[in-house]
Structure 1
Amino acid sequence: MGRGRAKAKQTKVARELKYHSPNTDLTALQRELAGAGKSNHDFDDDYKEYVDDDDEDHADEDPDPWVRPTR
């Protein structure tokens, strides 16, 4: 039975978020967006030596022996 108060609080918070925007630091946003030009792929992959690149080479082999063939 106590859901009415919780729902009212939730509605109040949602209304505040919808109609009252917080102060936005536009210079910080501009700095963040300006720095986004860097590629995220400029890192050393520590696990590169463990990757098995031969998966594509085995496409012509028999399918999984544990799978029942379709009729």
Structure 2
Amino acid sequence: MGRGRAKAKQVKVARRLKYNSGGTDLDRLRGELGVNQNSQDDHDPYDDDSSYEDLAARYADYAEDYDEKDGTGKS
């Protein structure tokens, strides 16, 4: 006996977790994950022109190979 009470408690906890969307402490979560709080959250690493140029230079050879195999004559 007693299985009914345990199951009822589990259902109660599951419903609370499912339907309670509030109460998330983002600062505590950052601390647990080890994220630096001084970092800029809105910073997009792809906004820098230099990073785009680095990526373009890195993959330029692949683009040339693709164009040659493709037969489109682009280069």
Q: What interval of TM-score do these two structures reach, taking the shorter chain for normalisation?
A: 0.3 to 0.5
TM-score normalized by the length of structure 1:
0.34
The normalised TM-score by structure 2 is 0.33
